[in-house]
């Protein structure tokens, strides 16, 4: 049976979602800065924003009118993207229309299954759920468990897939061909050609983070290129 796509997700179709995140300890890690980044992204045409942490999400919700994918990172390894139901509930309460949660088949810290987590989120908050998958098998399972959309977010970060240089187009194409829920390309989309390739591979929408909003990384890329050019 084909599932109908929620209007909030339809608003993201064929568009660019900009992820506005800074890592712990970085100078840009404060809600005001992230909200300014989000507003700038919307001026540039972003159809959605992805943001981290209840403080950032709440302020961004006040400042921009496009749908927001919210998450809460706890640590940086294992199940760290919105790891428990309680984290997800808080993200929804902060104003995210879509909550991104770890969408892998790994055990979750609160002992709930992915299906139980999604069912409770739907039942208790009404929020939409994006499952951040690490492999095609994760994505298929997450859709079966009731996820409203699936992202390639965790490919290359869970040990199941080797990190590709650029987005994992193979995983994206496999999921886009198999699922009746939107498949969102996310992770290592660093160039305009990467973005075009994601569209060709069947992405419903794209999330770009680092290449638009993480100035330290972008500086490092340019610096490396200059030094590489000088050395050769």
Contact residues: ligand LRY, CB under 6 A: 19, 21, 71, 153-154, 157, 186-189, 207-211
Residue number with CB closer to ligand LRY (183 or 208): 208
3-state secondary structure of 199: helix
Residue 143 is encoded by which pair of tokens? 């859709």
Instruction: Produce one character per residue of 7-17: b if its CB has 16 or more CB atoms within 10 Å, e if not.
Output: ebbeebeeebb
Question: What is the rounded CA–CA span in Å between residue 73 and residue 100?
Answer: 10
188 three-state secondary structure = coil
How far from 173 is each of 1, 40, 85, 169, 199, CA to CA, in Å? 21, 31, 29, 6, 10
φ/ψ of residue 136, rounded to 5 = -60, -40
Min dist CB 125 to ligand LRY, Å, is: 20
CB of 56 to ligand LRY, least distance (A): 12
Q: CB of residue 52 vs ligand LRY: minimum separation in angstroms?
A: 6
Cβ-based nearer residue to ligand LRY, 21 or 84: 21
| Of residues 158 and 174, the one with the C-beta less far from ligand LRY | 158
Please identify which residue in the block is written with the tokens 């050019």: 229
Backbone angles phi, psi at 39, to 5 degrees: -60, -40
Q: Which is nearer to ligand LRY, 61 or 194 (CB)?
A: 194
Measured from the CB of residue 160, what is the shortest distance to ligand LRY in angstroms?
Answer: 13
User: What's the closest the beta carbon of residue 32 comes to ligand LRY, in angstroms?
Assistant: 20
Q: Output 30 or 124, the one with its CB closest to ligand LRY.
A: 30
Tell me which residue has its CB nearest to ligand LRY. Answer: 209
């Amino acid at each position: 049976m084909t599932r109908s796509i929620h209007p909030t997700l339809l608003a993201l179709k064929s568009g660019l979602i900009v992820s506005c995140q800074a890592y712990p300890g970085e100078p840009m890690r404060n809600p005001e800065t992230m909200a300014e980044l989000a507003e700038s992204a919307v001026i540039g045409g972003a159809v959605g924003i992805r943001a981290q942490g209840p403080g950032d999400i709440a302020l961004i919700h006040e400042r921009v009118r496009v749908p927001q994918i919210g998450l809460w990172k706890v640590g940086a390894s294992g199940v760290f993207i919105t790891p428990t139901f309680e984290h997800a509930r808080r993200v929804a309460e902060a104003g995210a229309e879509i909550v991104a949660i770890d969408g892998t088949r790994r055990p979750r810290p609160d002992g709930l299954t992915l299906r139980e987590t999604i069912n409770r989120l739907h039942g208790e908050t009404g929020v939409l759920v994006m499952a951040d998958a690490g492999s095609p098998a994760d994505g298929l399972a997450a859709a079966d468990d009731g996820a409203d959309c699936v992202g390639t977010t965790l490919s290359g970060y869970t040990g199941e897939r080797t990190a590709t240089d650029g987005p994992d187009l193979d995983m994206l194409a496999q999921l886009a061909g198999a699922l009746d829920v939107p498949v969102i390309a996310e992770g290592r989309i660093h160039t305009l050609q990467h973005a075009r390739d994601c569209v060709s591979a069947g992405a419903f929408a794209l999330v770009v983070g680092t290449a638009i909003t993480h100035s330290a990384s972008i500086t490092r890329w340019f610096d490396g290129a200059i030094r590489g050019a000088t050395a050769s």
